[in-house]
Structure 1
Amino acid sequence: MSLKERLAREIALTGPMTVADYVTRCLHDPKDGYYAARPAQGAILGEGGDFITAPLVSQMFGELIGLWAVETWQRLGAPEQFRFVEVGPGDGTLMADALRAARVAPGFLEACDLILIEPSGPLRTVQERRLGQADVSPRWVRSLTQIDTDAPVILIANEVLDCLPARQFVRTDGGWAERRVGVTDEGGLTFGLVGISGGFDKPPYEVETGQVIEISEQQAGFGRDLGALVAETSGAALLIDYGRDRPGAGDTLQGLRRHAKVDVLAEPGEADLTQWADFPAVLEAAVRTGADVTGCLSQGEFLRRLGIEARAERLSSGRPEAAPVIARQLARLTAADQMGELFKAAAIFAPRSLSVPGFEG
């Protein structure tokens, strides 16, 4: 029985499913979920997969993140031990590039306890192969709460928040309703609205009739856990994702397969489903735990502050024949009409006196 058939049967028995629960099942169902089954069948990342992430666009991205981590470590006083954590490491490319760049800093790699947080077994296998010859051997845990708190933490989370789904609510002429996934008479999946009788906090901004708002308990929970970890240990967590840097309405649920948008209900488990990161909610949850946060920068501005243009120039000088490709990679990462504006960067940090690289001023 396919995942779609199993979901339809479950909904028929128990009632319409929230969008957040539906996305979670599509991505993480142990048997047929996208991240449980697809990596074992073939690549999901890169030109030959379903989508491409910044580390796969150019080595410059991971190298700059590695140098960001080095600078953060130095500003923390170069502790003799720290936890270097990546959440959702993909195929390991970002971390491989970061560790290579970090060789320039004496003592950094020797002090590094490398931890990867990855719930997908097949992806852990891919990461293990990619990092098999790295300067530091990684170890894997399943959640932030499994990280020891006896040393500072420097954490990277690139395109993680968009995998943490949100429930969807719609303002109607008759009041607020929740958008849920139901079943048609023919056994197909469909969206519908369920009235809300109570327990719903209206958004603190204007929403027109018919508009959708998204509330992600999982994203807020991630911000809370991350803030608590950083507040207890000291250090900094860098979040880079596509999404909103201010509260607002909008249906951002989408499915991607072979780099094209697909119907999110058509083939559960066969496409990557994402929703925008809600940076305001994540950062607010972190602040409530005692951590400090930066504001949001566009990815383009953040990378420029880290020196990506100078890095591109050096790479082009050393390999003139590759200069046109490097220029296209630079534009892909920083241009306003590509990844530069849609993607945002922000940091959660402690103590308050720490100046986080890239966010000064």
Structure 2
Amino acid sequence: MTLTQHMLARIAAHGPMSLADYMAEALLHPTLGYYSTRDPLGAEGDFTTAPEISQMFGEMIGLALAQAWLDQGAPAPFALVELGPGRGTLMADILRATARVAGFAEAAQIHLVEASPTLRAEQAKRVPQAQWHDDITSLPDLPLFLVANEFLDALPIRQFHRDDGGWREVMIGGGEATLTAGLSAPAPIALLDHRLKDTKAGDIVEHCPALPGLVQTIAQTIATHRGTALFIDYGDWRSLGDTLQALQNHAPVDPFAAPGTADLTAHVDFEAIAQNAAPARYSRVTPQGVFLERLGITQRAQTLAANLSGPALDAHIAAHRRLTHPSEMGTLFKVIALYPEGAAPPPGLDP
């Protein structure tokens, strides 16, 4: 049975499903879901993340976390955590970059939050000392130094269309052999009451049901035990518009044509992160390019370039540009941090 057939049977039995339920099935169905069945990263996969573009990304993140750790008194032990670690490349680069920070490696307990068995196997090759978790609820009660790069964008969303009668939610139904997106009857939606002031008929607003609880749990840990959390993703301050996209072989495809075979993501609403940051503090949202430049990525790029020539040098220059330039990932991707009351935000970010 294909995932499309499985979903059509579910819809026939229980009626149309929300976009959030559809995304959860498409990405995480235990035997047919996208992340359950493949390594999606790199040239052979469907998309490429910043850590796979250049080691410089992970080095900058690692040194920022290490400085935040030092600024907070170098607590030991502490939990060094990554959400959605891909192949483990980012964490491996973080550990290499921080190896000379006195006491950091000895105090760090490595924890990776990963649902995909396929990706856990890849992570174990690069970070064999890690402990794995299905979700954040089983993380230890320790100072928490966490990074989530392109993690929130894969969390399932609900999508609502504004009209004169309230909001119409995108629902997934089906014909005999295909899945189709439609709209519910208009109704008031309490969780979107605050968006009535800044939207009009025809506007689309997205809501990520899992984000508030996730951010609140991390914020509470940081407020209680100290630490910092870096969220790096594409998105903007407030959700507006249809941002659902499906990628297959590095190209956009119909998100409903063949669930389980393409990556599904949506832009992150950074305002929602800030709204759920209490009792921790949150930094100003900063473009990825500005953040990396403040951390010294250009100086690091120049140091690495001194030993390169020809195609290797060309690739290195292109990687630096892709990570930082406004027309590449530099502006679309943004960074926000959580940190404790009384502490400074991590390097590269403003309060």
The alignment's TM-score, normalised by the length of structure 2, stands at 0.95
Structure 2 CA distance for partners of 1:116 and 1:232, relative to 1, 3 Å: same
CA contact (8 A) 1:227 1:348 kept: yes
Q: 1:330 aligns with which of 310, 320, 327?
A: 320
> Counterpart amino acid of 1:108?
F
Mapping of 1:1-361 within 5 angstroms?
1-39=1-39, 44-132=40-128, 137-149=129-141, 151-184=142-175, 186-200=176-190, 201-202=192-193, 203-244=195-236, 246-287=237-278, 290-321=279-310, 322-360=312-350
Does the Cα contact within 8 Å between 1:205 and 1:248 map onto a contact in 2? no
Deviations 1:118-138 (A, max 9, x none): 111111111001223xxxx11
CA distance in 2, matches of 1:228, 1:266: 40
Q: Deviations over 1:284-342 (max 9, x none)?
A: 1122xx11100100000000011001000111113244332221111100111110010
Q: Which amino acid aligns with 2:84?
A: G
- The answer as to whether partners of 2:239 and 2:268 remain within 8 angstroms in 1 is no
Q: Contact 1:235 / 1:351 at 8 angstroms: preserved in 2?
A: no
Post-superposition offset of 1:205: 4.1
* 2:46–2:249 CA contact under 8 A, matched in 1: yes
- Give me the TM-score of the superposition, normalised by structure 1: 0.93
RMSD after superposition: 1.4
DSSP 3-state at the match of 1:195: coil
CA distance in 2, matches of 1:270, 1:352: 46
SS in 1 for 2:170: strand
- Could you list the runs of 5+ residues in structure 2 that have no partner in the other structure? none
What letter is aligned with 1:13? Answer: A
Q: Secondary structure at the match of 1:217?
A: coil
Residues in 2 aligned to 1:352 and 1:216: alpha-carbon distance in whole angstroms: 30
Q: What is the letter of the counterpart of residue 164 of structure 1?
A: L
CA distance in 2, matches of 1:153, 1:237: 7
- SS of 1:286 mapped into structure 2: coil
Which deviates more, 203-212 or 175-184?
Answer: 203-212
Residue 97 of structure 1 aligns to a residue whose secondary structure is helix
Please state whether the residue corresponding to 2:329 is helix, strand or coil. Answer: coil
User: CA offsets, 1:172-202, max 9 Å, x none?
Assistant: 2443211111112x33111111124444333
Answer yes or no: is the 8 Å Cα contact 2:324–2:330 preserved in 1: yes
Equivalent position amino acid for 1:55 in 2: P
Could you tell me how far apart the structure 1 residues matched to 2:196 and 2:223 are?
Answer: 28
Which deviates more from structure 2 when the two are superposed, residues 314-323 or residues 91-100?
314-323
| Residue type at the aligned position of 1:224 | Q
Partners of 2:188 and 2:66 in 1: CA distance: 49
CA separation in 2, counterparts of 1:19 and 1:52? 25
Task: Give the count of matched residue pairs.
Answer: 348
Aligned equivalents of 2:213 and 2:196: distance in 1? 20
Q: Per the alignment, in what secondary structure is the counterpart of residue 56 of structure 2?
A: helix
State the distance in 2 between where 1:73 and 1:307 align.
Answer: 18
Task: List alignment gaps of at least 5 residues for structure 1.
Answer: none
